[in-house]
Amino acid sequence: MNSITQQTTDKQEQKKLVKFFNLQFRKMMEQCHKKCITTKNKGKLGIAEKACTDRCVIKYIQTTAYVNELLNSFSQEVDQTLQTQQSQQK
């Protein structure tokens, strides 16, 4: 692959990553807002709302990281199984 093709591929991957993170951020904000924000005062959160939002964001990030670890582990196991099967077929 030449450098121009590689740069194009890298930019495409970066765009996909940005879209993915934006989507995750929006989901987190929607879920935490729905769960924690009970008042209609725009611009000011109560103490309980702030605490709830902090906890919600932390839990969301921790859960997302945990699920990603599980998926990566599963993906590696599948890759190893496929490699083993391919080597046995040769």
Q: pLDDT for 12-70, tens place per residue?
A: 889 998 999 999 999 999 999 999 998 877 778 889 999 999 999 999 999 999 999 99
**pTM for the model:** 0.67
The SS3 assignment for 36 reads helix
**pLDDT score of 1 more than 60:** no
Between residues 4 and 81, the one the model is more confident about? 81
Residue 88, pLDDT > 90, answer: no
CATH of domain 3-89: 1.10.287.810
Closest by CA to 34, choosing from 56, 62, 63, is 56
